[in-house]
Amino acid sequence: MRIDILSALPRLLDSYFNESILRRAQQKGLAEVHVHDLRDFSEDKHRRVDDYPFGGGAGMVMSVQPIHKAITALKSERHYDEVIYMSPDGELLDQPLVNRMSSLRNIIILCGHYKGVDERVREHLVTREVSIGDYVLSGGELPAAVLSDALIRLLPGVLGDETSALSDSFQDGLVAPPAYTRPEQYGDWQVPGVLLSGHEARIHEWRLQQSLERTRQRRPGMLKDEK
Ligand code: SAH
């Protein structure tokens, strides 16, 4: 999967994509992330990417021109499956949406800033709008990183243990069971005995019961959704 991110503040994204799992995924050639500075595409002599809103009011609006030029340049190089605008009023991101999108090959993610982008960008250039939740952030960079991370960790070979992503919360319609590591006893805090028993079937059953119980407590809607 190749992800091209368009941002007015590209440095915000550097550290996130250059550490840990996301870096390894890129080093292994499983994912490519390219962050582009929208200012590089601005035809304004001060490299501006925003302007005052027509009709007045507070806040700046991101202009069509740099965004259009950046998207056109990328599209001249390869086909893109989606041009995604991160937006608080977009489709809410959840695991089923991430799963569906994880089979895409090339995507562009546009990060807004200020009051957002000129509506004509959304009408004519964007093919999908995604929100990471019903709250407003100051820019689309964190949302773009959230979406990219959720997608990349699903790509085959990215997580060391191939089954690991499948046992995460939401993947089987349940939240994850509790996990423990050494030591067996930390002060008075004990690891549940069944996990130390070596009895695979009992461990499996215990985890399933814990997942069900937690889902009932924390995400009852997920159980009701099941037909
Ligand atoms: N005035 C806009 C908010 C702009 S916030 C409105 O009310 O909808 C500035 C930018 O941050 C947005 O353009 C978007 O790219 C990003 N952003 C903020 N909150 C977000 C969220 N919950 N999900 C996705 N992107 C978000």
Residue 196 has a pLDDT of 98
Total count of domains within the chain: 2
Evaluate: CB of 122 within 6 angstroms of ligand 1: no
> What's the pLDDT at 131?
98
**Residue 76 within a domain:** yes
| C-beta of 133 in contact with ligand 1 (< 6 A) | yes
Longest dimension (CA), the chain: 69
Residues 74 and 119 in one domain: yes
Domain identity same for 217 and 117: no
Could you tell me if residue 161 is inside a domain? no
Residue 176 pLDDT greater than 70, yes or no? yes
Tell me what pLDDT residue 162 has.
Answer: 61
Measured N-to-C along each axis, helices 20-27 and 141-152 cross at an angle, to the nearest 10 degrees, of: 60
**143-153: pLDDT as tens digits:** 999 999 999 99
**Residue 99: predicted pLDDT:** 96
Is 227 a residue whose pLDDT tops 70?
Answer: no
For the whole model, what pTM was predicted?
A: 0.95
26, amino acid identity:
Q
Q: What is the CATH number of the domain that holds 205?
A: 1.10.1270.20
| Same domain? 77 vs 147 | yes
Parallel, antiparallel, or unpaired: how do β-strands 2-7 and 61-62 relate? unpaired
CA proximity to 181, closest of 168, 197, 192: 192
163 has pLDDT over 80: no
> Is residue 113 one of the residues assigned to a domain?
yes
pLDDT score of 167 more than 90:
no
Same domain, 63 and 37: yes
Query: Does residue 163 lie within any of the structural domains?
Result: no
Q: How confident is the model at residue 226 (pLDDT cuts 50, 70, 90)?
A: low
Question: Candidates 122, 136, 148: which one to mutate for ligand 1, based on the most atoms within 8 Å of Cβ?
Answer: 136
Is residue 209 over pLDDT 60? yes
From the list 147, 26, 150, the residue with the least C-alpha distance to 86 is 147
User: Is residue 147 within 6 Å of ligand 1 at its C-beta?
Assistant: no
Nearest protein CA to atom 20 of ligand 1, as residue: 88
**175 and 133 in a common domain:** no
Reported confidence tier of residue 116, pLDDT bands at 50, 70, 90 = very high
Average pLDDT of the chain is: 95
The answer on 20 and 58 residing in a single domain is yes
Distance from residue 207's CA to the centre of ligand 1 (Å): 38
Among 156, 70, 69, CA closest to 109: 70
Measured by CA distance, the residue closest to atom 12 of ligand 1 is 112
Lowest pLDDT segment from 14-23, 24-33, 112-121, 182-191: 14-23
CATH number at residue 56: 3.40.1280.10
Q: Are 32 and 97 members of one domain?
A: yes
> What is the domain extent for residue 175?
169-222
Taking only the tens place, the pLDDT of each residue in 17-68 is: 998 899 999 999 999 999 999 999 999 999 999 999 999 999 999 999 999 9
Q: Do 208 and 114 share a structural domain?
A: no
Q: State the average pLDDT over residues 6-20.
A: 93
In a domain, 157, yes or no: no
Whether residue 179 has pLDDT greater than 70: yes
Mean pLDDT of 68-88: 98
